[in-house]
Every structure is written in structure tokens, then in C-alpha cells.
Structure 1
Amino acid sequence: NNFLFSSYLYFLETIFEFGNETDFKDCLRFFYNEKPPTGLVPNSNVKEYQHICQRYKNDSRFATLYHKKSRTPLFSAYILSPSDVPRPDDPWMYEPQVGNKHSVLDDYKNSGFTRGHLAPSSHQNTKEDKEATFTLTNIVPQKEESNSGPWKTWEEKVRKSFKNYCKGEMYVITGVIPYESNTPLINGRVAVPEYIWSAYCCPKYFFPAYGAVGRNDPNSNDKIVREMPLENLESVLKKRMNRKGDGKNASLCN
């Protein structure tokens, strides 16, 4: 009932600390030069989005830009620090900060989509870091064959690049490209993104910055995650999401 659900949310809030716009500065460290990417949000719809400093057990873990209307994140950003700590047993967390503008687990039942992490637990270090990724403001509806197939392969490739080539911090941003029209919804509530993209760079070591983008359309047979130089991905985002500006202020990793 509503009382039990409200009590459950209160309990979760005591464990998972929800930042607001003013304390998002605590999560700027997850962006290279502490500068989040610009131009991804249409000016006319800016009030539909909310910055979330994803805090868990007294520490900031990663950063998210959340779209309340679609009930999905637009992107999550983090510093990659993988380890052999086992994946948690799906301790999914709700977030009172976005009120009724979040998805719920029932939205995904029999939907044909999996709960796709933008900040994956496999890229995190400690048990607490991994647990923090299991918040419903960090997931999007993702095709099952993509989540367990080419995107899993991409995430592992990024891990290997970090291990073999990056001697400093690796910054990662993973996000979505919404449909331009006729957006599919699961359970009539949660928007399915048309594409999922990711970008990473290791600025203190001269290793090229790369990006990738994959189709997430349920009616498409395209299962390939296409890797590309970062500037090519930025061109894709500029075209599809009307990114403004150029140079460092518009770059994902510059």
C-alpha cells in the first residue's frame, strides 16, 4: 500500500544520499577538467532535466543527468576503476529526489528490454561503488541481445584499454540518443532510447580518445556497436541532438 511504499522510500533515502543542483559540484570530479558536456539538452526543455550527484554511503560515486519526462538518464559519467569484486545481487534503489518521475522494476517486466546500466558495475572498484550503480536513475531500457552482447564486449574492451594503456585516470561518459518522434514506451511510461553511446579518454597518458554508438531500436536488426574516434561521435551527437558550440566547452573529453 501507499504507506508501506512511502516508508520504503524513506528507508532508502537514509542509505542513498540524493544531491540537488547545488551540491552537484561534489560530482564534477567525474568529468575531465570538471566540465560536464554542454549542448545535449534543448534550451526549451531544460527544466525537464535534473543533475544528480549519485551519493551512496557517505561518498559520491558517479554523476548523472536525468530526464524526468522520459524517466531515464540522458547520461552518466564516472572515473573507471575496475576490480575483481563480484557484481552485487541487484540491490535496486529508488530515488525520492525525482519523486514519481522514476521508473520502477515492474516497468521492465515482460517488456522485451533489460535494465541497461549507463555507469556499469563492472567498471567500478569497491563493493559500495558497484552497489551505487543499481539505482533506477542510472538505467535505460536496453535490448537484451545488446546488453548481454555487443555492449558487454565494448565495456570489456574499455576495461582492457585502461589496464593496458592508461596510466592515469580514465574518464567515461555513457548516454543515450532519444528518438526524434514516435518514442516507444515500456509500460506506457518509460522511454526507450534509439541509440546508446559511450566515450572515454585517458588525458594524462597519450592514448587516443574513443567513442562508440549502438542502435537500440527494437525493430532494427542492427546489433553492431560501432567504435570511432571521439570527434566522430561528437559529430553524431551534434547532428542528432543539436549540440551547440565548439572547442573545449562542447567536447566530451577535451
Structure 2
Amino acid sequence: MQKTLALCVLVTTYLCLVAGDVVTNFYDIPECYESFHKGWIPDLGKDRAEVVKLCHRFNNQYHFATLYDTYHRIAVYSAYIFEPSNGGGREKRWFIEPQLVDPSWSGEMKDGYWLGQDNPDIYLGEKQALNEDYTHSGFDRGHLNPNGHHAVPGRNATFTLTNVIPQNPKLNQNAWRIYETKLTEKFLNCPYQAHVLVGAIPSENNWIVKNNVNRVNIPEYIWNAYCCMGHNGWAEFSGGATALNTEQNIVVERTLEEMVEFLQQHSNTPVGELFRVC
């Protein structure tokens, strides 16, 4: 009887862990934990007070992981594995994470418009950006984790608003887009698996403001780092890039060592390694 009870507790605990996308630790959900290179979770974001860990679920599958800053309402970083495209167009919906509204809600990302229609008396945007925050803001909904780096349905999952930042339109549609395309070509030549981190560095005091309320921080920089692994488990190539989020429209490519130095300049705590053995 005791063994049966213990088994039930273990099963129940496991089901609770995989039921949602807001987690205490990324390794609570194995499919989420796999987004990180060799299971190495960076120290980035330890100097942020109001962060949550998200394991993004769409079509009952986990696709990537995000450390999300609920104060600035932009991601510290997202971690994902590159996938070659299998076709499929851009998602027309913008999703939000229900558990950032109410922890008891489903962890499956939902269309923000319809979730709002179904819950008219509940404000959905206390801890995350909403689609209306970006309307007439002058900024693009700039993907951090690019939809073009995934196959469907992972591609659809990148349209959660926790995966976008207010990005300067010129940068989003030109230099950064070209850089993402260059990465696609590079990753297609990766022998085994390309792990990617992409994130944003918040500005001191530059926000999308709605009704006299600071809603979404307009980041100062967007950045990217990657590590391609061969079948032998060793790194084949690596690198990264940064871009000032302005009409300057310039992407600066860097080594991983240079990326750590750059990120350290904008962190109050040690950044450490971005990837293990790369």
C-alpha cells in the first residue's frame, strides 16, 4: 500500500511539473531543459529581481525556453535548438502565457485576443506584454528566437509575445534580418546540432508608454550567441553578435569570449560561460 501511495505521489508530482510552462527550474521539464547546450543554464539574469522561467508549450509540445523579465516585460534570453524549415507561413496570431496571468491556468500558450474575450474582467498584462502595447508604438514586434529557425509547429510557438521586443523597424527589417538569414545558412552546415541563445539588454529609461504607464521596455541592445556541435560532441564553430536597437542598423559579429565580455559590461553579477565546452 505504501509503495502504491509513493508511486501515486511521484506520478502526480511529475504531472504537475509538466502541466505548465512557468517552472521553478528549467530542468523540471526535460524537453525544456534540452534547449540548453549540454544542460548548461547560463548565469545571465541573476541580477534581475523579477524574472520567471518559461517552457513554451504549443500543440502540447515544448519548443524552447525563456528567462523572462516581468518588470521590463521583455526576455533576458531565449534558448533554442535550430531546426531546418519544413515550410509553413507566418503565424497570424499573437500568443500570451496564461500562467503569467493566473498560475492555475493552463500552461499552453493562448491567442491573446481570444483569451481576453473569454476573460473580460481580468487584466492579462500585469506580468507580460500584450499585443495592444505594440499597436501604434512605432516599433516592430521583433522576434528574439526567430520563427525562421524552426519547423512547424515550433515556428508557430515563436509568436508568443514573451519572445518579442520593441525593435527598431529599420534594424528588424534590414541588418538583423540579414544576420538571421546568414545564421540559417551557417546552421544548415552544422553537422549535428546548433544551440542558440538570443536576448535583449534593457534600456535605462526608454519605454513604450500606454495611458501614462510604462508598459514595455525598449531595449538598448539585442544580442545572439551560438554553438554548433558535431556528432563527436565537440564544438565545430561558435560565435555571436550584438546590435544597438536604433536606426544605426549595424550588427557587430563577435566571438563567444567577446560576447561574454560585452554582456558582463551590462550585468551586476558574473556572466560566466554561455555554453559548456564550446
Residue 50 of structure 1, aligned match among 46, 49, 52: 52
Give the deviation of 1:206 after TM superposition.
4.3
CA contact (8 A) 2:91 2:159 kept: no
- Determine whether 1:227 maps to 2:253: yes
- Aligned mates of 2:242, 2:74 — CA distance in 1: 18
Deviations 1:18-69 (A, max 9, x none): 4222463221111111121104331xx43x0000001111211000011111
Q: Tell whether 2:42 aligns with 1:29.
A: no
| 5+ residue gaps, structure 1 | 1-16
* Aligned AA (1:236): F
User: Percent of aligned pairs with the same residue?
Assistant: 36
Partner of 1:223: helix, strand, or coil?
Answer: coil
Q: Measure how far apart 1:103 and its partner are.
A: 1.2
1:173 correspondence with 2:194? no
Q: 1:95 Cα shift?
A: 1.6
Return the alpha-carbon distance in structure 1 between the equivalents of residues 60 and 180 of structure 2: 27
Change (3 A) 1:90 1:41: farther
Asked if structure 2 preserves the Cα contact closer than 8 Å seen for 1:140 and 1:193, the reply is yes
Which runs of 4 or more aligned residues in structure 1 lie more than 4 Å from their structure 2 counterparts after TM superposition? none
- Whether the aligned pair in 2 keeps the contact of 1:197 and 1:213 (CA below 8 Å) is yes
**Are the structure 2 counterparts of residues 167 and 195 from structure 1 closer, same or farther at C-alpha, using a change threshold of 3 Å?**
same
CA RMSD of aligned residues (A): 1.7
- Answer yes or no: is the 8 Å Cα contact 1:195–1:216 preserved in 2: yes
Question: What displacement does 1:185 show?
Answer: 2.9
Contact 1:52 1:66 in 2 (8 A): yes
- Per mean C-alpha deviation after superposition, the further-off stretch among 76-85 and 200-209 is 200-209
Residues 109-155 of structure 1: CA distance to partner in whole angstroms, max 9, x if unpaired? 11110001111110001x21111111111111001111111111111
**Gap change, CA 1:30 and 1:104, over 3 Å in 2:** same
**1:133 and 2:181 matched:** no
- 1:139 alignment partner AA: V
Number of matched residues? 225
For 1:1-254, list aligned pairs within 5 A: 18-22=20-24, 24-25=26-27, 26=29, 27-42=32-47, 45-46=48-49, 48-99=50-101, 100-125=126-151, 127-164=152-189, 166-179=190-203, 181-187=204-210, 188-204=214-230, 206-217=235-246, 221-244=247-270, 250-254=272-276
2:96 aligned counterpart, secondary structure = coil
Distance in 1 separating the partners of 2:171 and 2:60: 34
In 2: Cα distance, 1:101 partner to 1:213 partner: 27
Uncovered stretches (5+) of structure 2, i.e. residues with no partner: 1-18, 102-125
- Contact 1:74–1:175 (CA under 8 A) maintained in structure 2: yes
- Residues 18 and 66 (structure 1), Cα distance of their counterparts in 2 relative to 1, 3 Å cut: same
